[in-house]
């Protein structure tokens, strides 16, 4: 193993691993850079700040882009399966997080680049993926996955209720009360049923207010259903933490997974 491949290996460990002190420091530095670059994007959009400090912020943005570019090149260089990485979800996000600034040299006023830049935030999830969050995240994902049929039925019921209510309210309230079209009425029904309640459109007639009241109480109470579904799944998966171990000495079960000795007779467990 020559010096280059040693360096390559060391860099790979720092960039892709999180267990070593250097790897951890790298991850934290990267999170700070991502958050700061998001802050810069955000501040640039504020008119007064953009006017006064626009050039400085543009400069800082270039600094972060160069840092992220170096990081991207190192990732490509140190990874074994270069193609797989480049075409993976996080590989594309990594590329997208640096492209907009380079493109801004050729294109002007391309506001769509702004949204691509904000996708940088997703990179934080990659860093978490390395750390101990992976098990917990999997657990959550598994619970949501096994509840997906129930959640689909729930969402379909909600959406059907929203569309039918929206159509009804369009007929009841009519254009003169702000319900100018079915899409707008459906938008109102979403705002109401999810208990957001902007108040930019609100029913004015007695019949409309009565129907709205029913929808509100329904929307308020029905949240219990997805909550119940997700909770039942999570409780089910959480419960598995009780070991199925039976004590060989007293034949009692119900031991915790971390138990070393039987809690009833002090015999050693397997």
- Chain positions 40 to 69 lying near a copy of itself, rule: CB under 8 A, are 41-47
The region of 51-59, 62-70, 87-95, 225-233 touching a copy of itself under the rule CB under 8 A is 225-233
Shortest Å distance, C-beta 76 to a copy of itself? 25
Asked if 202 and 174 touch (Cβ cutoff 8 Å), the reply is no
Burial of 205 (0-12, 13-18, 19+ CB in 10 A): middle
| 270: contact with a copy of itself by CB under 8 A | no
* Rounded distance between C-alpha atoms, residue 189 and residue 169, angstroms: 9
| 226: contact with a copy of itself by CB under 8 A | yes
| 177: contact with a copy of itself by CB under 8 A | no
| 212: contact with a copy of itself by CB under 8 A | yes
Shortest Å distance, C-beta 77 to a copy of itself? 28
Would you say 74 or 180 has its CB closer to a copy of itself?
Answer: 180
Pick one of 3, 21, 55, 199: the residue that binds a copy of itself (CB under 8 A).
199
Pick from 167, 217, 204: nearest CA to 189: 167
Shortest Å distance, C-beta 261 to a copy of itself? 4
* Rounded distance between C-alpha atoms, residue 108 and residue 204, angstroms: 47
Considering only residues 123 to 162 of the shown chain, the ones binding a copy of itself according to CB under 8 A are 124-125, 128, 132-133, 136-137, 139-140, 143-144, 149-156, 158-160
Pick from 237, 233, 64, 225: nearest CA to 153: 225
Pick one of 105, 239, 244, 270: the residue that binds a copy of itself (CB under 8 A).
239
Which ranges in the chain belong to alpha helices (H)?
Answer: 3-16, 21-45, 47-78, 82-87, 89-96, 99-103, 112-118, 123-130, 133-146, 148-173, 182-193, 206-222, 224-239
| 180: contact with a copy of itself by CB under 8 A | yes
Would you say 83 or 263 has its CB closer to a copy of itself?
Answer: 263
The phi-psi region of residue 47 (left if phi > 0; otherwise alpha if psi is between -120 and 50; otherwise beta) is alpha
């Amino acid at each position: 193993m020559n010096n280059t491949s040693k360096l390559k290996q060391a860099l790979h460990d720092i960039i892709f691993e999180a267990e070593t002190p250097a790897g951890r420091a790298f991850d934290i530095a990267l999170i700070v850079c991502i958050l700061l670059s998001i802050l810069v994007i955000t501040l640039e959009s504020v008119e007064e700040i953009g006017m006064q400090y626009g050039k400085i912020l543009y400069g800082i943005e270039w600094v972060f882009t160069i840092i992220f570019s170096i990081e991207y090149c190192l990732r490509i260089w140190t990874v074994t399966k270069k193609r797989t990485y480049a075409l993976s979800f996080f590989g594309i996000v990594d590329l997208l997080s640096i492209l907009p600034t380079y493109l801004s040299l050729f294109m002007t006023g391309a506001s769509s680049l702004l949204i691509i830049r904000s996708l940088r935030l997703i990179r934080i999830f990659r860093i978490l993926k390395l750390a101990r969050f992976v098990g917990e995240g999997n657990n959550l994902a598994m619970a949501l996955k096994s509840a997906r049929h129930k959640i689909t039925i729930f969402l379909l019921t909600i959406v059907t209720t929203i569309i039918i209510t929206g159509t009804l309210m369009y007929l009841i309230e009519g254009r003169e009360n702000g319900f100018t079209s079915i899409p707008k009425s459906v938008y109102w029904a979403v705002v109401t049923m999810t208990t957001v309640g902007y108040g930019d459109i609100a029913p004015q007639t007695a019949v409309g207010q009565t129907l709205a009241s029913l929808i509100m109480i329904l929307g308020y109470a029905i949240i219990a259903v997805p909550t119940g579904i997700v909770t039942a799944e999570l409780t089910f998966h959480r419960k598995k933490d009780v070991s199925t171990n039976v004590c060989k000495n007293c034949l009692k079960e119900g031991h915790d997974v971390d138990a070393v000795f039987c809690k009833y007779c002090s015999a050693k467990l397997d």
